[in-house]
Amino acid sequence: MEFTVGRRLARRARTTLAFAGAGVLAGLAWLVAGRGGGVAGPLVVIVLSSAGLWGGWSELARSRKPFRLRVDDFGITLHDAELSWEQIDAVALHHPPRSDDESQPPPLLVLWPAPGVGLPRRPDRGQGVLSNVLADAGQVRLRYTLARTHDLDQSVTDLAGALARHGGARFETAPRAVRQPTPLSVAGPEHRGPKPEVFFTPAIPGPARTARGLAAGALLALAAVLLLPLADLATRRELPFSPVLFGPWFAVTAAAWWLGVHSLRRWRRPLRLRVGPDGLGVRDVAGTEFWVPWEAVAAVTVGPCPGASDTRQWLIVWPVPGVPLARESSHVVDGHVAHVLVRLDRLPGGAERIGPAVQSFAGERFSA
């Protein structure tokens, strides 16, 4: 399959140039219309818009540079090199690290060549030795970035599908510390018989469940009572208290409604883990369901939460690269996205019971 970058880069460049050019013209018009007034505002607009012009021209220039990316049965063909699969040690869709306040950036297509194989381009630098090399038998092999997926005219799903179809085990779908590369075509659940689904739900004693229901009802009743001033506002066009108290009243009323609805949802739909031949799903304490089919799972592990010092066991899903899941990724480990589903000590049996149950359905995808 052939992948290109010209259309998307050119479209992005034209959009940037149009907005930046409009910004420069608006700044110049503002400067002329000011007639001796303050010039700081117009100059800031002109400088920022000029930076946008530079970025747009750079994108346009990149769209005209030589680029080729073809993934097929032979291997990976670039505009300056051809690598057969025997010359490739590993290839992956590598997610750059992100800070806590930004969304997950698009992945990079990276490649580790086999020992003795090089590319006529500079290897990756600046992100730490461990993330850029693979060590094997005392040899260090460099990592090369081949493309940024958000520049490709085709989707990440198309690229991941081509790599899985032609690359086999050389396509890394999870960190090697979690699971050694295995072709996705043979890594599915082996037990697809009439085996019933398994559910894990915390056992709540009857009195405790009744108390939770009564507490939810009391909160909702309090929230309803707090809305009574709205009736006075609708009928008499005035509030029964001083306008100074409107802010605290609104905050308390909103909090009472949120707590009441949240408590009612937790009472009716408690935490639950569901494992079956089609996939696994978690219903969190807010009652929100998250379902993952096995076809979208590269690996599922039982272990500590990534990046945390806490040693308690969690159920963690590593999705197949390029497969979108209806949930924001929790962590990025060695360039691979991990979704932390549930802490297992909150469910009956803990890791000792849940791990074997998940493994019986996940097959080769399971890693302890």
* Six-digit token string for 125: 């630098």
Which token pair is 364?
């080769």
pLDDT tens digits, one per residue of 203-228: 665 566 677 677 777 887 888 887 77
How would you classify the pairing of strands 331-333 and 336-343?
antiparallel
pLDDT given at position 286: 66
Is-contact 287 265, C-beta < 8 A? yes
Identify the bridge partners of residue 292 per DSSP, sorted by sequence position: 280
State residue 187's pLDDT score.
52
* Most confidently modeled range among 2-16, 83-97, 312-326: 83-97
Phi-psi domain of 54 (left: phi exceeds 0; alpha: psi -120 through 50; beta: other): alpha
pLDDT band, residue 139 (cuts 50/70/90): low
pLDDT at 137: 46
The label of the residue with tokens 């000011």 reads 34
The mean per-residue pLDDT over the stretch 125-135 comes to: 47
Taking the alpha carbons at both ends of the chain, their separation in whole angstroms is: 35
8-37 per-position pLDDT tens digit: 888 888 888 888 888 888 888 877 776 556
What does each C-alpha distance from 25 to 32, 54, 55 come to in angstroms?
11, 15, 17
Residue range 196-205, pLDDT digits in tens: 888 888 766 5
Q: What is the DSSP string of 120-173?
A: SSPPP-SS-HHHHEEEETTEEEE-EEEEEGGG-SS-HHHHHHHHHHHHGGGEE-
Q: 91-95, 170-174, 360-364: lowest mean pLDDT where? A: 360-364
Judged against a pLDDT cut of 70, whether residue 158 lies above it is answered with yes
Q: Which of 131, 183, 161, 199 is nearest to 348 (CA)?
A: 199
Contact 366, 182 (CB under 8 A): no
> Given this model, what pLDDT does residue 146 score?
92
- Distance from C-alpha of 362 to C-alpha of 188, rounded to nearest angstrom: 7
Residue 334's region, left for phi above 0, alpha for psi from -120 to 50, else beta, is left
Q: Tens digits of per-residue pLDDT, 91-121?
A: 999 988 766 556 778 899 999 998 888 888 8
pLDDT score for 27 = 82
Res 305: pLDDT? 87
pLDDT of the residue at 49: 86
**Structure tokens given for 292:** 């993952």
pLDDT of res. 101 = 56
Question: What pLDDT score was predicted for residue 285?
Answer: 67
Q: Considering only CA atoms, which of 212, 204, 355 is closest in space to residue 273? A: 355
pLDDT band for position 75 (50/70/90)? very high
The reported pLDDT for the residue numbered 212 is 66
Which residue pairs from 231-239 have beta carbons closer than 8 angstroms and sit at least 24 positions apart in sequence? Answer: none
Cα 164 to Cα 171: distance, rounded to the nearest angstrom: 6
- Residue 214 makes CB contacts below 8 A (sequence gap 6+) with none
Give yes or no for a contact between 138 and 131, defined as CB atoms under 8 angstroms apart.
Answer: no
Taking the CA atoms of residue 96, residue 99, residue 103 and residue 106 in that order, the dihedral angle to the nearest 10 degrees is -10
